Amino acid sequence: MSIDVRIIEDSVSPEDIRLATFQLRYPRIIHSELMTHRVFSRNASSSRAIPVQRQIKAIINDPAEPVEWGSNQKGMQAGDPLTGWRLWLTQLAWHGARHGATACARLAVFAGAHKQVANRILEPWSHISVVLTATDFANWFALRDHKDADPTIRALADRMRRIYNIEAPTLLQPGQWHLPYVHAVERHDLPLEDCLRMSAARCGRVSYLTHEGQKPSVQQDLDLFTRLMGGDPKHASPTEHQGTPDKRWKSRNRWAHEDEHGNFRGWRQHRKMIPGEAVQG
């Protein structure tokens, strides 16, 4: 089981508001807890997109599991970690169930089931890759990097806090953009509109690379952006990771474009500048 944490874009505004984008990999068993934090913009790898055989190989070679095997007691928090034969038997049960699940997933594929069905059988032992962007992490760290939190999500939050505290963000001025997955040469050579679309496409893939592990062409990324945003309704969540600092009207104590912040604070969000970015009820 592995938890991987990287900051792929780290910016700060003249108002000293930080906008950070993480790339994460962690056990899918804690993903629902991360999703309760509404200040986060996030995109994640999907069980509907990963070939079943690749998913089976991944959970055989690197299965997700709890970081701590706690003993039973009343309440939501586990007791002391299991030891001896109790630990061995619990781990045997966890991994034994994994082998049963892989056999059942293969059976579903043999029966003609799509990967969006067969891969669901494998999720308890699967990892998930997530790109996550926000201006506010204090509540996340307070709740999840805490002794009462699930040990697995606490391990994730602890690693995020550590890297967040040592990274030095880049100062951006209004009109300069936070662009995850867009390299310096691309920013220099390509129009801003293309860089925004490329960043969104790559955030939607949760990777700079394509799903086949290849370096994308500019046109591939632009085409993916068109597929995401050209339909009705739009798949607009990948456009939540790009932002530019907003200006504050000191005399009115208000932001110049507050209606474009989305779930950011002090930053204009790319999504909120796109007409029809959400279906209106």
Burial 148-179 (b: 16+ CB within 10 A, else e): ebbbbbbbbbbbbbeebeeeebeebeeeebbb
User: Residue 24: which region, alpha, beta or left (left: phi > 0; alpha: psi -120 to 50)?
Assistant: beta
Give me the chain's average pLDDT, please: 92
Q: Which of 166, 190, 224 is the C-terminal boundary of a domain? A: 166
Q: How many domains does the chain have?
A: 2
63 pLDDT above the threshold of 70: yes
Q: Is 173 helix (H, G, I), strand (E, B) or coil?
A: coil
Residue 57: Cβ within 10 Å count: 12
Query: What is the pTM (predicted TM-score) of this model?
Result: 0.93
Q: Cβ(144)–Cβ(153) under 8 Å?
A: yes
Q: Which of 166, 182, 209 is the C-terminal boundary of a domain? A: 166
Same domain, 160 and 63: yes
Same domain, 88 and 156: yes
Same domain, 56 and 156: yes
Task: Specify the pLDDT at position 209.
Answer: 66
Q: What is the mean pLDDT of residues 19-42?
A: 96
Give which of 116, 119, 117, 127 is closest to 45, Cα–Cα.
Answer: 127
Q: Which of 144, 166, 188 is the C-terminal boundary of a domain? A: 166
In a domain, 67, yes or no: yes
Which stretches does DSSP call E strand in 17-85?
A: 18-27, 41-44
Host domain of residue 81: 4-166
CATH code (residue 33): 3.30.1360.170
277 pLDDT above the threshold of 90: no
Same domain, 71 and 23: yes
Considering only residues 2 and 6, tell me which one the structure prediction assigns the higher pLDDT: 6
pLDDT-derived band at 233 (thresholds 50, 70, 90) equals confident
